[in-house]
Amino acid sequence: MKKILIVDDQPDIRELLAETLGANAYELFEAGTGQEAINIAKKEKPHLIIMDIMMPGDINGYEATNLLKEDPQTNGCHVMILTARGQTVDREKGLKMGADDFIVKPFSPTELIFKVEEVIK
């Protein structure tokens, strides 16, 4: 079963993403901070990480993405940023930090499922 790590500081967003993806279709993990995401990614090696940008703590989504992509243990994980920050500069920064894809909130569940299935194949 393919593994997906959902990273967002808001539990209701994590729950919405889990429901959208279907809990039975994937093995889902959740993290509320950038550091927690890094720890889980190193342990579980998810196929996909859905990463928010704005999170509490010392490591935001940009930094967590960069650290994951620089680490040989986790650089094979596909990172999809899902954020309310939808300006061009935000997208460019996310891609520069190593993100493989970028989706702006509010998101279309159909678009998210399509992109996830594209990656998970």
Packing angle between helix 61-70 and helix 34-44, nearest 10 degrees? Answer: 30
Q: Give the model's pLDDT for residue 121.
A: 79
Task: Name 46's Cβ contacts closer than 8 Å, sequence gap at least 6.
Answer: 3, 4, 5, 29, 40, 77
Where do we find the tokens 């061009």? 88
What is the spatial distance between Cα 32 and Cα 27, in angstroms, rounded to a whole number? 17
Number of helices (H) and strands (E), helices first, in the chain?
A: 5, 5
pLDDT band of 23, cuts 50, 70, 90: low
Where do we find the tokens 């993990």? 29
Query: What does pTM read for this prediction?
Result: 0.94
Where do we find the tokens 């593994």? 3
Q: Mean pLDDT throughout 11-17? A: 95
Per-residue model confidence as pLDDT tens digits over 64-102:
999 999 999 999 999 999 998 888 898 899 999 999 999
SS3 for 3? Answer: strand
Domain ranges of the chain: 3-120
Determine the CATH number of domain 3-120.
3.40.50.2300
